[in-house]
Each structure stands twice: as structure tokens, then as C-alpha cells.
Amino acid sequence: MEYVSPEGLRLDGRRPMEMRQIRGEIGAVAKADGSAVFEMGNTKVIAAVYGPREVQNRSQQMNDQALVRCEYSMANFSTGDRMRKPKGDRRSTEISLVIRQTMEACIMTHLMPRSQIDIFVQVLQADGGTRSACINAATLALADAGIPMRDLVTSCSSGYLNSTALLDLNYVEDSAGGPDVTVGFLPKLDKVTLLQMDAKLPLDIFENVMQLAIEGCKAVANYIRELLLENTKQLEYRRGV
């Protein structure tokens, strides 16, 4: 199948190095300490953060740092064919783990000893790149909850189809079976915290693809930063003196 037309356009009309439209909204869940909705094209994810709060399971309490937990789930209505998946299937446990590790790496857990932070992410619409969207939503929600972090983690995926590097794959491109590189990136520290790929790629091409994903992460980071700054300003001026 042809994923990039001779004119250099992808199936949904984007250029190879073009991202989908991103949109974020802070404060979607009223009762949560922090929450956000994040959209990348048709992929839509909601995240809620509770905490830092008292550790629920006393045996997991750590005296020098906070416990970070993450739960990823996909709404039944999120995919094209309505599937009734069991709650802890392998895919979602794996993604939960990935998100947890990525977020834990940038949260300053040592500042909140003997407490726990819960991150809940749910996919409302799935159109490829749910992993990235979840990480971006979780970052926004954590920032909204006022949890100290070393840096904003942002994430973006890229792939390699028809001998072209493509940024931000959608569902059709994702299911083509080509390589799919998901990168989690700390823009200020200029470090990669997450890198996943479940295929083989020659090293030089892989570097290009990864660099493309990093550029995508930077673009997302700029957007998230603007969003947070706007939100902070709004809260401050509303509060008044």
C-alpha cells in the first residue's frame, strides 16, 4: 500500500514531517488535584492526577520518596470496532508501566516523602499515538496539580514507511506494520527518557527517525509551555490581591 503519494502527501493529507493538530485543555476533572485533556488529531486522552496524598497501602510507603502509580485504560468506545477488553490486559499494563516510569523520572519524588501520587489516563478516542498523547496529558495534569518536576516530559512518535520518515503516525500508518518509534523527551535538559521501537531499522535511518520524533516533542513542549503559562496567569489575575 502506498502511504506517501508521489506528490509527497500522506493518507490524511499531511506532509511527512507534519504533525497533527494538537490541543490541550487544563482542568477537565473537577474533583482531581490536576487534570487535563490532550488531543493529537483524532486521538483524545483525558488524564487526572490525585495527590500527593497519604499512601493507601501502608506496606508500599517509602520514607524518602513518593510512590507514583499510573493506570492506563481505553474506553470501550474509543476504537472503531467496539471491543470489550478485560481491565488489566497485557497491552494496558505495559503502557501503564511505561507512563509511570516516564513520569516518575521527572517528578521530584524526594520532596514528597511518605506520600503517593496517582495518575489516571484514559483514551477517549484512539487514532494512533495513544502512548504519546497519554504522556503529554499526564504532564499537563501533573503540572496543574502543582507537583514539582525537573522538566516537562513530552512525547511524540515517528515511523518509517515507503522509505520516508513520517512524524506522528495515525492509526492507519501505525497498523501498516512498519517501525514505530515513540520518544519521551525532556526539552530543557535535552535528554531522552523514553524510547520504544518494536521493529528493525538500519542505524543511520533510525537516527533520522528518532531526530524527527524529538523535533515533534519540542513542538509539543512549546505548546504545552504556552498553555501552562496562560493558565498560571489566569489563575493569578483572577485571584487578585
Partner 1 sequence: MRGLQLPLNQTQKVRLQRALEKLESLSSKANSNASVTIADSIPVNAEDSLLKGHGTTVLNDEVLATTCGIIERVNKLVYVRSLRARYKPEVGDTIVGRIIEVAPKRWKVEINSGQDAVLMLSSMTLPDGIQRRRTAVDELNMRSIFSENDVICAEVRGFQHDGLQLQARSRKFGKLEKGQLLTISPYLVKRRKQHFHHLEQYGVDLVVGCNGFIWVGEHIEPTDDIFEGQVHKPEQHTTENDEDSSSLEGQEQSYTPLETRQNICRIANAIRILSTLGFNITVDVIVEIVNLSSSLNLDVHEMLGPEFHVLVAEKEAVQRSLTKKKI
Exactly one of 14, 20, 33, 92 binds partner 1 (CB under 8 A); that residue is: 33
Q: Contact letters (x/-) for partner 1, 185-214, by CB under 8 A?
A: --xxx-------------------------
By beta-carbon proximity to partner 1, the closer residue of 15 and 225 is: 225
* Distance separating alpha carbons of residues 226 and 9, to the nearest angstrom: 30
By beta-carbon proximity to partner 1, the closer residue of 43 and 136 is: 136
Categorise residue 158: left if φ over 0, alpha if ψ from -120 to 50, beta otherwise. Answer: beta
By beta-carbon proximity to partner 1, the closer residue of 147 and 197 is: 147
* Distance separating alpha carbons of residues 120 and 203, to the nearest angstrom: 36
- Cis peptide bond prior to 86, omega within 30° of 0: no
Start-end of H helices in the chain: 90-106, 130-144, 171-174, 203-239
Helix (H, G, I), strand (E, B), or coil: what is residue 101?
helix
Site for partner 1 in 92-111 (CB under 8 A): 108
Site for partner 1 in 108-127 (CB under 8 A): 108, 112, 114-115
Question: To which residue does cell 483525558 refer?
Answer: 46
Question: To which residue does cell 516516564 refer?
Answer: 102
2 part of the interface to partner 1, by CB under 8 A: no
Question: To which residue does cell 481491565 refer?
Answer: 87
* Distance separating alpha carbons of residues 128 and 157, to the nearest angstrom: 9
Shortest distance (Å) from residue 57 CB to partner 1: 14
Sole window of 46-54, 86-94, 127-135, 203-211 interacting with partner 1 (rule: CB under 8 A): 46-54
Shortest distance (Å) from residue 203 CB to partner 1: 30
Residues binding partner 1 (CB under 8 A): 26-27, 30, 33-34, 51-54, 108, 112, 114-115, 143-152, 187-189, 225, 228-229, 231-241
